[in-house]
Structures are given as C-alpha cells and as structure tokens.
Structure 1
Amino acid sequence: MFSSHDYLTDAIMARLTETRVTDPECAWRAAQARHRRRCLVPSGKLNILAADHPARRVTKVGDNPIAMADRQDYLGRIVRVLSSDGIDGLMATMDLLEDLFILDACIRDAGGTSLLDGKVLIGSLNRGGLAGTSWELDDPITGPTPATCSAWRLDGAKLLLRIADEEPGSLKTMLASAQAINECNALRLPMFLEPLPVTRKDSGWSVVKERAALARIAGVASALGDSSRYLWLKLPYCEGYETVARSTSLPILLLGGESAGNPAPFLGELASAMQAGPNVRGALVGRNVLYPGDEDPLAMACAVGGIIHQSWTVDQALESLPANRGRGLDLLSRYF
C-alpha cells in the first residue's frame, strides 16, 4: 500500500513551512520560471487531477471524515500523481499550487527535473460555498481571479456552478461565473466550468446524475459569458451519456465525485464516457485518483491516462496497475 508520509516526509513538510516563513516569494519566482507547454492540448485530450476540495470544507474519503484535511498525506498523493507521464496537469487552489511551486524550486535547486514544467496548471476560483452552510449555493469567487491566474502564468481557471431551482444563491453564482468567463476571455485564458444540477438531500445537496438534467444544464453553461471560445465543461457520468455529449459542441471532461474505494468503477465510467461523443476529451478527477482504495495513486493515474490518451479498454487499464504500482517511490528522497 502507498504510504504518503514515507513518500513526502516530515522533513520535507518542515522545509516547506520554513521556506514559506523565510522566503515567501519563492513560489512566485518558481511560477515565473516554469516552462509552460506551447499548446494546451497537444493530443486533443486532457487528464487533469482535481485538488480543490478542502477549500470548500470537503474532506471526507470513505469512512474517514477528515482524510483530505491531512495536508501532508494530501500533498504527497498529489505529487505522486503528478510524477506520472499519463497526467497532463493539476487543478487546485492557490495554497496547494504554491506548495508545489516551492517543492519544485527545491527539486530544481538540488539538480532534479521539474515536476511542473509542461504541466497544465489551473486555478480554482470559487470556494466560498462551504459544504453544509446555509449559503452553500451562493458561491462567490474567494480564490484567485482570472487576472491572478494569468499573473502566476497558470494555464487556466476553474469554476463550480451548482444550480438548484429553489435557491436564489444559484443565480448569484451564475452571474459571478459569467463575469469570470468574460475576464478569462479577455486574457485568452481557458475556463473549465463545472455546471451541476443539484437537489436537496438530507442536510446537503446531491448532484442529479441524469442525462436530461445534465443535457439541459450543459446548454445553460455553454451560453454563459460573452464568448464560449475558451470554455470547457466538466460534467459527471450518467447512463446514456451520449445525450449529454450531444447537448453541446464544447469539449467535455468527466468528473469523478466521491472515491469508489477501488479503481474499477471509475475506470469503467471513463471508458464508457470516452465513447459517448467526439467532444468528450478526458477527465478532471480528484478523489478517485488520489484515493483509489489500496491502490497506488500513480498506478491509478497511469490507468486513467491510458484510457484517455491511448484508448485502452478497462481491462487494459486494470492490467497496467501492477507494473506501475510502487514505481519511482524515491522521487522526493533523492532531493530532500
């Protein structure tokens, strides 16, 4: 089993904090020095890791209500996934991106190869709709602005837009989303929009994973802002995903939702979605890659990348897991 604390050690975390204290501009310098890919999508497809959940007070994985609150474990898993050639990049909040920029600077200073050069880095904009609050669907931009993403030389921005017919907060979030899309368009910055139809369930909100509801919301999302030319949609899987794919000409990335606890269910959904239409172009997934049960996150990232970039079947993806399990576990120990 992958041990994140053996991979990203206490000493590395201590150095990360020490750098934040003694050299707060380190992350900024590393961001300016990073070599970006010339084209966002060289292969026409993307496999992006999502890591913005804790900022919205979402920390539960399986039976552990605060699994993602352990920053050392969370960051270790993120670095492990980013070391995979099958992953194109990361979508995260600024604090996590800055952690990674500092680690990358340390690796460079030690003569190592950058983890972030050539990766797609996307800033998560709106995290103010904290899970479980009375204002949860009024989700203002409390993270970076599009201008900030551009200044940090990020490759895109991401927005979450949850719509419940009975909640006025949804309209406020939609207006904020349209404005952010306009700002991204002016900067020629790709926007990854996650529009979700939701309904009240128990004390929280549940995503309606039904093809008609997703197709309708895709139509709304595609028309937001002054142009859709830099817009990507992030949508969950459902039965009859062909209907969802046909609802827009925009590129679609599949989201994962809560961790299934093992690789097979999500790999099956991804393989099915990739066959649903030519505009389904990959995945923007977090928990199902970072917490794949007892599996190594790197092995899971490689399996997902195989389906997206090499058109693997589910069986091929599952068969690839042993070969990548435990590979390159000395990546960080070589430089720290």
Structure 2
Amino acid sequence: MLSDRQLARLTTTRARSPEKIAEAAQERVKPNSAFDDDERDLIIAADHPARGALRAGAYPMAMANRRELLRRLCVALSRPGVTGVLGTPDILEDLLLLGALNDRSVYGSMNRGGLAGAKFELDDRFTSYDVPSIVRFGFDGGKMLLRIDYSDERTEQTLAACAKAVTELAEEKLVAMVEPFISRRTEEGQLWNDLSIEAASTAVTIASGLGATSAYTWLKIPVIGDGGDAMAQVLSSTTLPTLLLGGEVSTDQEATYERWRRALRNPTVRGLVVGRSLLYPADGDVAKAVDVAVGLL
C-alpha cells in the first residue's frame, strides 16, 4: 500500500521543496539499455488521466484515484522484465519522488490537449512535455498521439506539431514514439478509431514519414484482428521498431494475451506498451498480469 505518510511526503515535498523533483530526476539510475536481455520492451503506460480518460474496464473513474494508480504503478514497475514507463509530468514526478524509476526507461507523453469526448478532441495540442523538458529531466524519449481525420482540418495542426517533435527529438538522439490512428466521427459526432487493415496500414505509413528523419522514430500501434494475418499485413507497411498498444481492459484476458502472443511473432515488433490492461486486470492482481505479459515477450 501507499501509506498516508508516503502520500503526505509527496505533497509536502511539492509544497515546500519542489526543486527536489528535478534533483530526483538527475539522481535517477538509468538502465544500460532500453530493452531487456532478449531485446524486448515492456513499457507501462499511465498518461490516460491527463486527457480525461479515467475509465478502466467497468469502472468509469478508476484512474482518478491517484494513490491507487501510483500503488499499481509501483507494483508493475517492480516486476522483473518491465523495462520502462510512459506518463505525464504529474505522474512521472510522483514516481521519481517515490524512487520507482531507477533502472527503467522513461518516456514523456507530449500532446494531451485532445480531451476524451470533447468536440475539440482532434485539436490534440502539445500541452504536456516538450522536447526541452524531456532533455532537462534526462528521459529517454517522448510519445505523441496522432489521430488523422480526413474530414477535420484540425488534423493538419496535429500532423505539423508531431512532425516538429519527431525532428527535435531526433536532434537530441531521443526516441519519438508515435501512436497513429485513422479516426472518424459517427453521425452523432462521436470520435472512433478505424481499426481496419486498410486504415491501420495507412496510419502507419503516414506516421513513418513524419519529421526530417525517422532514425529515432518508433511506432505504437494497436493489435489488429486476432493478431495474426491481419496484423502481419499492417506491420508489413513499415520497418520502424513497433510496440503493441495494450488497449482497453478485457473481460476475457486470456484472449487478449493470445492476441498479443500472435502479434509479437512479427519481426518488427519489439514489445508492448500497456496501461489499463495490466494496471487494472479483471482479477485485480497487477503483479500476476505483468508477469504474464513478461512471459509473452
């Protein structure tokens, strides 16, 4: 458990000695490699709350409880085989102060302005980390969400901002982790991501060409279909290192694991970036869920 004393210490440090956050970042023990001994990655994602996406499975406000989220993150990050974490400043700074980021790669989430369910959701501005702050904190890269709607002119702004970030991260020799989707709206105006083979392949090819160089670009994409032939077809669209997106919490976790297992067989896939599926498994056992994912790798 994250005790009352630990929680109070976090708040007291932020109130009285905020400079200790930067000091903790400088003192973080960095891993020798972004990958494990088998050249695989398992990155725990926790950047959902900053976009107002708080649901995990059947619980609409699950990720709103910061103490519980931090507890689950600390459990996940303590498991052998976990290589990194992805998050926004508020969460990563709490983890720094808790000493939970040693020997783990850290990726800062950059564009969180497209709030879940908002009319302006596709105006996905860079409201979180920027490249100078990622460099200043000594992190290993930045992640950006790229949703492309051909009928929404705001997509152009997001494309340009992501391309700029890819170029700037590459200049610092840091990973640019791009999560691309072709997105559409229903007649009622609800935004959804098209996970057909054609749409996913198109999103991959667009994201692969962003920026002045792709030398440091990784892709973060969902598992298409059952993770077999359809996924292989999507992955044939690029040679960039690819990480699989974990997706929503499933009531049939074994089926989810099997989909991951099939997709991980593809030669361009380097690992998993998973948030809610591992942090909020149906049975509540975070350690067990993470260990299963490590086993799949």
Task: For residue 198 of structure 1, report the CA deviation from its aligned partner.
Answer: 1.5
Distance in structure 2 (CA, Å) of the matches to 1:291 and 1:148: 30
Instruction: Give 2:276's aligned residue.
Output: 287
Distance in structure 1 (CA, Å) of the matches to 2:39 and 2:63: 31
Following TM superposition, the consecutive aligned residue runs of length 4 or more in structure 1 with deviations greater than 6 angstroms are none
Instruction: Give 1:228's aligned residue.
Output: 214
Structure 2 residues without counterparts, runs of 5 or longer: none
Task: For residue 211 of structure 1, report the CA deviation from its aligned partner.
Answer: 1.4
**Which of 225, 243, 262 is the equivalent residue of 2:233?**
243
Distance in structure 2 (CA, Å) of the matches to 1:10 and 1:45: 36
SS in 1 for 2:98: helix
Instruction: Give 2:55's aligned residue.
Output: 60
TM-score by length of 2: 0.94
Instruction: Give 2:288's aligned residue.
Output: 299
Q: Does 1:156 align with 2:145?
A: no
Instruction: Give 1:311's aligned residue.
Output: none
What pairs up with 1:248-263 in 2 under 5 angstroms?
A: 248-261=238-251, 263=253
Task: For residue 293 of structure 1, report the CA deviation from its aligned partner.
Answer: 1.0
Q: Does 1:19 align with 2:13?
A: yes
SS in 2 for 1:194: strand
Q: Does 1:98 align with 2:93?
A: yes
Distance in structure 2 (CA, Å) of the matches to 1:197 and 1:285: 20
Instruction: Give 1:36's aligned residue.
Output: 30
Task: For residue 44 of structure 1, report the CA deviation from its aligned partner.
Answer: 2.3
The count of residues paired between Structure 1 and Structure 2 equals 291
TM-score by length of 1: 0.84
Instruction: Give 1:174's aligned residue.
Output: 159
Whether the aligned pair in 2 keeps the contact of 1:212 and 1:243 (CA below 8 Å) is no
Task: For residue 81 of structure 1, report the CA deviation from its aligned partner.
Answer: 0.4
Distance in structure 2 (CA, Å) of the matches to 1:268 and 1:95: 33
Task: For residue 206 of structure 1, report the CA deviation from its aligned partner.
Answer: 1.4
Whether the aligned pair in 1 keeps the contact of 2:49 and 2:63 (CA below 8 Å) is yes
RMSD of aligned Cα (Å): 1.3
Structure 1 residues without counterparts, runs of 5 or longer: 1-6, 105-114, 309-336
Task: For residue 10 of structure 1, report the CA deviation from its aligned partner.
Answer: 2.6
Task: For residue 126 of structure 1, report the CA deviation from its aligned partner.
Answer: 0.4
SS in 2 for 1:216: helix
Compare 202-211 and 192-201 and name the one that shifted more.
Answer: 202-211
Instruction: Give 1:315's aligned residue.
Output: none
Task: For residue 210 of structure 1, report the CA deviation from its aligned partner.
Answer: 1.4
Distance in structure 1 (CA, Å) of the matches to 2:252 and 2:73: 18
